[in-house]
Amino acid sequence: PRVCVVGSGPAGFYTAQHILKHHGEARVDIYEKLPVPFGLVRFGVAPDHPEVKNVTNTFTQTARSERCAYYGNVTVGRDVTVAELQRCYHAVVLSYGAEDHRVLGIPGENLSGVYSAREFVGWYNGLPESQDLKPDLSCETALVLGHGNVALDIARILLSPLQLLRKTDITDGSLAALACSKVKRVWLVGRRGPLQVAFTIKELREMINLPGARAVLDPADFTGLENTIKDAPRPRKRLTELMIKTALEKPVEKAVEAQTAAPREWGLKFQRSPQEVLPSADGRRARGEAAALHLVAAWWSAASSFLSQGSGDSAKAIPTGVTEELECGLVLSSIGYSRGLSLAALCARAGLYCSGWVKRGATGVIITTMNDSFDTAQSVLEDLQRGVLDVATSREGFGAVESILRSRGVRPVSFSDWEKIDAAEVARGRAAGKPREKIVDPQEMLQLISH
Ligand code: FAD
């Protein structure tokens, strides 16, 4: 059987891995729109979390399998349609992730100085389409909307000492911009309360221990919570306890000098919903300390029922009418990625599957994506076994796709091409003491492999 996977992020690679492992004859072709593989492992995961990126070793093994092929530089939906792929393969698995960011839907959202997490993270991680972002970091206060791990990633990158970032695979361009950054304060603003934060304890602890940055948490936000969380599930309990401890801890208990001398600070603001981004005096941008994010305080009603009913995630914040303006020069909205346009809307039929963020929406870490992709792969295997997929009719696979691509002037990049780009990046990085220096221009990547 010939199977095709669209997208080379964790979902694509884990789906391929499972099919190859459990079907001794299946062949899997992976199509990727960028010349380079690995999706958000390369363009999302924070540069100072290199251990998370080790999954690419497993993906590389999969790609090197004799029964697997990688075709980068092919945008499905533009260079070849899903319907065409379905004619060339017995099964097509869509694993192209969640491309769009969720919009805030408030006035002022389009002012310059307001960016989505996707753009901003893409900028420091070398995503080609985000390289023109060049965010203005000349203000002192940045506001991150959202209380998830991506929001913490952004705050950490903005406040990290440069010498820590220099050793990572953050791009040279963003490193230079961060070296001139005036940002010294980051507020993470969320609509709900401390019991509903979505970040996890490891990321919070990392932020609390960030050298040169002080946590500013309002003790009033945590009063009485200790009792409320007594019977909470253990991860929620430990996370809340850490916030309480940080908020209530007296300065003497910390390394006082280090903390008070900290040139930078960050904090969590709860129960606030953004209403409008107000422009600076020139009316064009949320920039300089004259600009502000206009927030409406939200009233959180279910702090206790959250535990007894376990309904914390579905509970809603209700506006109180109280408003507040928070001065800032930079607004980064980290309220989630959304599923982009469905490539398969018009051609759903047997033989078409999806895995990862296409399937579940933009939630879950790599492990969640892995389990989900194994489930999808299992469905493909079962359909093969039960005869739902007509393997009696032979399909040409890439042989047929190649002629379609050639007729449209598209030249795919192979996995060994990527390995050449990889080697060049690693060599460039070595000179600067970094794990790699990412090439951010796809044309330069293609030139490097004499495309
Ligand atoms: P993606 O990783 O987005 O992969 C989709 C792939 O499809 C991409 O390579 C894309 O270029 C390609 N594609 C898109 N459209 C097309 C098309 N039309 N044709 C061909 N190819 C296409 N998880 C962790 O475990 N640890 C972390 O530290 C962590 N950090 C994260 C940081 C950020 C900023 C984000 C957003 C997520 C993070 N995650 C982390 C979550 C993790 O990245 C996701 O669970 C995972 O990447 C989802 O995998 P996916 O394959 O569905 O999507």
Q: How far is 289 from 225, CA to CA, in rounded Å?
A: 34
The residue-averaged pLDDT of 398-418 equals 97
More confidently predicted of 338 and 79: 79
- Kindly state if the Cβ of 39 falls inside 6 Å of ligand 1: yes
More confidently predicted of 262 and 296: 262
Which ligand 1 atom sits nearest the alpha carbon of residue 40?
2
More confidently predicted of 389 and 343: 389
Residue type, 359: K
318, pLDDT greater than 90 = no
Residue ranges for the binding site for NADP(+)? 147-150, 191-192, 203, 364
* Residue nearest to ligand 1 atom 33, measured at CA: 44
Taking the centre of ligand 1 as the mean of its atom positions, its distance from the CA of residue 10, in whole angstroms, is 7
374, pLDDT greater than 80 = yes
* Residue nearest to ligand 1 atom 3, measured at CA: 97
Which ligand 1 atom sits nearest the alpha carbon of residue 76?
19
pLDDT for the residue numbered 340: 55
Banded pLDDT at 285 (limits 50, 70, 90): low
Residue in the structure block whose two tokens are 């040409």: 396
Taking the centre of ligand 1 as the mean of its atom positions, its distance from the CA of residue 419, in whole angstroms, is 20
**Domain architecture of the chain: domains with CATH:** 2-99+338-413 (3.40.50.720), 114-333 (3.50.50.60)
262, pLDDT greater than 50 = yes
Q: How far is 32 from 73, CA to CA, in rounded Å?
A: 6
Taking the centre of ligand 1 as the mean of its atom positions, its distance from the CA of residue 387, in whole angstroms, is 32
Which ligand 1 atom sits nearest the alpha carbon of residue 359?
52
Banded pLDDT at 290 (limits 50, 70, 90): very low
Q: What residues pair up with 110 in beta bridges, in sequence order?
A: none
Please write the tens of the pLDDT for every residue from 93-120: 999 998 776 788 888 888 888 999 999 9
More confidently predicted of 259 and 103: 103
More confidently predicted of 308 and 362: 362
Ligand 1 pocket mutation, candidates 34, 40, 71, criterion most atoms within 8 A of CB: 40
The residue-averaged pLDDT of 179-205 equals 94
Least confident piece of the model among 12-16, 226-230, 290-294: 290-294
Which ligand 1 atom sits nearest the alpha carbon of residue 78?
18
Q: Kind and range of the H or E element at 92?
A: strand 91-94
Which ligand 1 atom sits nearest the alpha carbon of residue 96?
7
* Residue nearest to ligand 1 atom 31, measured at CA: 45
pLDDT for the residue numbered 347: 54
189, pLDDT greater than 50 = yes
Beta carbons of 103 and 110 less than 8 angstroms apart: no
Least confident piece of the model among 14-18, 26-30, 324-328: 324-328
Given phi > 0 = left and psi -120 to 50 = alpha, else beta, which region is 195? alpha
More confidently predicted of 363 and 169: 169
pLDDT for the residue numbered 320: 76
The residue-averaged pLDDT of 5-19 equals 98
- Kindly state if the Cβ of 369 falls inside 6 Å of ligand 1: yes
Banded pLDDT at 56 (limits 50, 70, 90): very high
List Cα–Cα distances, 59 to 30, 300, 359, 401, 410, in angstroms: 11, 43, 20, 23, 25
What is the rounded average pLDDT for all residues in the chain? 88
pLDDT for the residue numbered 272: 87
The residue-averaged pLDDT of 408-437 equals 97
70, pLDDT greater than 50 = yes
Taking the centre of ligand 1 as the mean of its atom positions, its distance from the CA of residue 97, in whole angstroms, is 6
pLDDT for the residue numbered 450: 87
Banded pLDDT at 298 (limits 50, 70, 90): low
247, pLDDT greater than 90 = yes
Q: How far is 201 from 211, CA to CA, in rounded Å?
A: 18
List Cα–Cα distances, 287 to 113, 128, 244, 283, 331, in angstroms: 6, 25, 33, 10, 9
Taking the centre of ligand 1 as the mean of its atom positions, its distance from the CA of residue 58, in whole angstroms, is 16
Contacts 24+ apart (CB under 8 A), 338-341: 338/98, 338/100, 338/101, 338/102, 338/362, 339/98, 339/99, 339/100, 340/96, 340/98, 340/99, 340/100
Please write the tens of the pLDDT for every residue from 134-162: 998 999 999 999 999 999 999 999 999 99
pTM (2 d.p.): 0.92
Taking the centre of ligand 1 as the mean of its atom positions, its distance from the CA of residue 220, in whole angstroms, is 37
The residue-averaged pLDDT of 405-433 equals 97
- Kindly state if the Cβ of 9 falls inside 6 Å of ligand 1: yes
Please write the tens of the pLDDT for every residue from 86-98: 999 999 999 999 8
| Percent of all residues in the chain with a pLDDT value above 90, rounded to a whole number | 69
The residue-averaged pLDDT of 366-394 equals 95
- Kindly state if the Cβ of 88 falls inside 6 Å of ligand 1: no
Taking the centre of ligand 1 as the mean of its atom positions, its distance from the CA of residue 277, in whole angstroms, is 29
The residue-averaged pLDDT of 342-357 equals 75
